[in-house]
Amino acid sequence: MTTSSLATPEEPEGGKKRKNSRRSRANGEGSIYPYRNGYAAYAWVTTPTGERKRKYVYGKTREIVHDKYVKLLSSARQGPVDTKSPTLASYLAYWLREVVDPNLAPATAANYDMFVRLYIVPELGKKRLDKLSVQDVRTWLNGLRDRCQCCAQGKDERRAKDERQCCAVGDCCEQFASDRTVRDAWTVLRAALNNAVREEVLPRNVAALLRVPKPRRRKVKPWTVDEARKFLEAARTRRDPLYSAYVLILVLGLRRGEALGLRWEDVDLDGGELTVGWQIQRIRGQLLHRETKTESSDAVLPLPDICATALREREKDQEAAREASGKDWADLGLVFTTRTGQPIEPRNFNRSFVAACRKAGVRQIPVHATRRTCASLLVAMDVHPRVAMQILRHSQISVTMNVYSEVSSDATRKALKRLGRSLDSPREGS
């Protein structure tokens, strides 16, 4: 029993015409028939809801329709077939729910959802997926560059009436999307359409046919060894509660989320090792303590003396905070917490870092830029190249030795060693 069949919706009148029509079909074409300015055919298919419906295919030539018909029959034999192409908004909702959320990291999934919701669906969402053209995508991209996003997204309109200050009161703030935002939005659309091609919903990806220039990344000059030393010394002198975290992100190159997600069970002070495997992230309004994004992010790192000593100091400070909080203490096992044991908000960490830069009198840089200072600090502290290789996660010692060829000044090296030694002495008032 076949799963599909073909027939023309309208048979020509008169037996002779019907006979000639059948003779005009090539072998294996079934009931392909002229339709408007081309040809058409249809097959009976089972839809995802279990209904039996006709699925039509169209083309300018008989050969094109024949190829489409053969593919349609193959799809019908393999499983359910949609008879109507969804809108782009409908397909993107499916893609986010069934493909992105189960397979990508929560932060990445939230980022894709943001671009779909704010930049893609408002302009292209009503387009039928199979009707989306290269011209549609190009017009959309140009519109992102030229249209105020505050106006387009109604940002000012969502404010209270007495707080509206720009677009909602007729004073456009000209908040145009950056080149980076335009490319990222295009990248998300291209990824979604790639999935549609893989699932044989579309024959081609129209977004991939466009070329969107890649903007240059804004380069941030990392701290020098002297600036890093000055920052750490100032933080320790004023007993900054996040001093130990600053040491880890500068000396071990930990990311912000990795430092905030560090657990005491992953710290071996006696063995001089630290395991990186967890992170703290705020995603879609929730604070998550989850494993790092990829296996390559996980590592067992040796602890230089300055790190081990700073963590011992942190252990003492946390124990004091635990006793002071009493029953209010949240025992989550994290190394870095608030005064009641709760996880530290990533944005609050950023604010503390900015304040620490200001108090230390050093140049302000983003937290993630501190990773680039890590190698220079290891050189200046005379950390053995093999240890530095493991910390920096280099695959070859030659790469590490190239870093070590950058010799720091004697004064800086001595100052950093003094900083490390000073940590071994008890703090005043401890």
Per-residue DSSP letters for 252-290?
S---HHHHHT-BGGGEETTTTEEEE-EEEEEETTEEEEE
The b/e string for 140-154 (b: 16+ C-beta within 10 A; e otherwise) is bbeebeebbbbbbbe
d(Cα 339, Cα 197) in Å, to the nearest integer? 52
Q: Residue 415's pLDDT is what?
A: 57
Strand order from edge to edge, sheet including 38-46: 33-35, 38-46, 52-59
Q: Residue 118's pLDDT is what?
A: 93
pLDDT in tens, 91-131: 999 999 999 999 988 889 999 999 999 999 999 999 999 88
d(Cα 86, Cα 380) in Å, to the nearest integer? 60
228: Cβ contacts below 8 Å, ≥ 6 apart: 250, 370, 373, 376, 377
Terminal C-alpha separation, the chain: 85
The tokens of 363 are what?
């140049």
What is this structure's pTM?
0.68
Q: Residue 402's pLDDT is what?
A: 65
C-beta separation of 120 from 188 below 8 A = yes
Domain 88-209 = CATH 1.10.150.130: yes
The tokens of 76 are what?
């019908």
- Which helix (H) or strand (E) covers residue 343, if one does? none
d(Cα 126, Cα 136) in Å, to the nearest integer? 12
> Domain 225-422 maps to which CATH number in 1.10.443.10, 3.90.105.10, 1.10.8.350, 1.10.760.10?
1.10.443.10
**Residue with token string 């000593």:** 309
Q: Residue 43's pLDDT is what?
A: 87
- Break the chain into its structural domains and give their ranges: 15-78, 88-209, 225-422
Residues of the chain with pLDDT under 50: 1-23, 27-29, 296, 406-407, 423-426, 428-430
d(Cα 240, Cα 247) in Å, to the nearest integer? 12
Q: Residue 297's pLDDT is what?
A: 52
The tokens of 344 are what?
């530290």
For residue 374, give the 3-state DSSP assignment.
helix
Q: Residue 174's pLDDT is what?
A: 82
Q: Residue 409's pLDDT is what?
A: 54
Four-CA torsion 243, 227, 277, 348, nearest 10 degrees: 50
